[in-house]
């Protein structure tokens, strides 16, 4: 790797089905590189089709990290991802290769690039759900939950301080980490420079790509994969599988959806997920968005991204 790229990390981000992995592989053909996945589901073994995991051929051609490291019954947080992914990035840099971080999990990407910071973890739907629980269960019930998941924070928060109780639980739900721990760790920024590139499709074309991807997943055996996971003892009670694609496939296996309804539901939920991803990424002023439209010259796009990245 050239000196101009030393201690720099290239991030390729964007919504699902936007072509992030393809672009990363094209860049890796131009410069010695290794890929770090920033996908919250590709970390799990046996979840290949529903996560659009890189093929064995691609992972043989270019070394990948943060793929197939956990079984689906293991909980995994943004903080844990940050620690393991930073270790992977450090190793790639030591080998004088380019780390290319690829994915659409906004929390994981921020945790890796910026360190843990509780201010990242906000979600209106989660907050509304917690407020509804206060109305139904009472604030004392949520305070007891906080005592269970983050006793250090609970000791500092008055049992009647609804705002701080809900905030602490919101952070825990979104990050998988106690807010008290995140507040201790937020002073640990990365020691590398991050450059962010986002793929920005016209909505109709992205919608078509999403629908085509879902159709391809079903043809490739998504239902069989879900059935296999179920036979291994995994299900929607595990957070890894309570996600788009798998939860609809489990509903189909339970007889609650027809195959056609399952496909339509996955397509709809994936569109909604992609919209949330773009909203998140557009909130980061560091991202340079690359307008893309069919047909895409992926090799040419890779050359342009790499040329820009290597500029001093």
Contact 107, 38 (CB under 8 A): no
Is the pLDDT at 118 greater than 70? The verdict is: no
pLDDT of residue 119: 64
Encoding tokens for residue 207? 């919608």
pLDDT band at residue 174, thresholds of 50, 70 and 90?
Answer: confident
Distances (CA, A) of 181 to 133, 145, 150, 153, 185: 25, 17, 9, 9, 6
Whether the CA torsion 132, 133, 137, 143 is positive or negative: it is negative
Query: What value does the mean pLDDT take over residues 47-55?
Result: 96
d(CA 182, CA 195): 24
pLDDT of residue 89: 97
Hey, which residues does 102 pair with through a beta bridge?
Answer: 12, 37
pLDDT of residue 219: 97
Looking at every residue in the chain, the average pLDDT score rounds to 92
Query: What value does the mean pLDDT take over residues 68-77?
Result: 91
Is the pLDDT at 4 greater than 50? The verdict is: no
Return the SS3 of 235: coil
d(CA 299, CA 110): 27
- Digit-coded pLDDT (tens) for 76-87: 877 789 889 999
Residue 55 CB partners (closer than 8 Å, separation 6+): none
Q: Which residue has the higher pLDDT, 252 or 79?
A: 252
Residue 74 CB partners (closer than 8 Å, separation 6+): 44, 240
Percent of the chain scoring above 70 in pLDDT: 95
Percent of the chain scoring above 90 in pLDDT: 76
Q: Which residue has the higher pLDDT, 5 or 291?
A: 291
pLDDT band at residue 147, thresholds of 50, 70 and 90?
Answer: very high
pLDDT of residue 175: 82
d(CA 186, CA 188): 5
Is the pLDDT at 227 greater than 70? The verdict is: yes
Encoding tokens for residue 299? 């090799």
Is the pLDDT at 191 greater than 70? The verdict is: yes
Domains of the chain, with CATH numbers?
3-115+188-310 (3.40.50.300), 118-185 (1.10.20.140)
pLDDT band at residue 312, thresholds of 50, 70 and 90?
Answer: low
CA-based nearest residue to 167, from 123, 136, 114: 123
Query: What value does the mean pLDDT take over residues 267-290?
Result: 94
Is the pLDDT at 192 greater than 60? The verdict is: yes
pLDDT of residue 45: 97
CA dihedral 36, 38, 41, 42 (to 10 degrees): -20
Whether the CA torsion 248, 244, 211, 19 is positive or negative: it is negative
């Amino acid at each position: 790797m050239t000196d101009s790229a030393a201690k720099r990390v290239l991030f390729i981000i964007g919504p699902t089905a936007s072509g992030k992995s393809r672009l990363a592989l094209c860049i890796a053909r131009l410069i010695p590189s290794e890929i770090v996945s920033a996908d919250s589901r590709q970390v799990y073994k046996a979840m290949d089709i529903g996560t659009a995991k890189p093929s064995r051929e691609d992972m043989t051609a270019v070394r990948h990290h943060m793929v197939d490291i956990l079984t689906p019954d293991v909980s995994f947080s943004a903080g844990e991802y940050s620690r393991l992914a930073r270790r992977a990035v450090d190793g790639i840099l030591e080998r004088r290769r380019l780390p290319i971080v690829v994915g659409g999990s906004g929390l994981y990407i921020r945790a890796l690039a910026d360190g843990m910071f509780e201010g990242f973890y906000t979600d209106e739907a989660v907050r509304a759900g917690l407020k509804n629980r206060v109305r139904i269960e009472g604030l004392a019930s949520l305070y007891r939950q906080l005592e269970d998941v983050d006793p250090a924070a609970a000791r500092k928060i008055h049992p009647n301080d609804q705002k701080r109780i809900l905030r602490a639980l919101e952070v825990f739900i979104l990050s998988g980490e106690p807010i008290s721990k995140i507040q201790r760790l937020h002073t640990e920024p990365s020691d590398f420079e991050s450059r962010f590139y986002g793929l920005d499709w016209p909505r109709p074309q992205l919608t078509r790509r999403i629908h085509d991807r879902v159709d391809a997943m079903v043809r490739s055996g998504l239902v069989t994969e879900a059935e296999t996971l179920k036979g291994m003892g995994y299900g929607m009670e595990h957070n890894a599988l309570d996600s788009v694609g798998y939860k609809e496939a489990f509903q189909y296996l339970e007889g609650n959806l027809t195959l056609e309804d399952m496909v339509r539901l996955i397509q709809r939920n994936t569109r909604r997920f992609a919209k949330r991803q773009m909203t998140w990424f557009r909130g980061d002023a560091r991202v340079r968005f690359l307008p893309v439209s069919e047909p895409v010259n992926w090799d040419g796009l890779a050359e342009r991204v790499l040329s820009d990245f290597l500029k001093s």
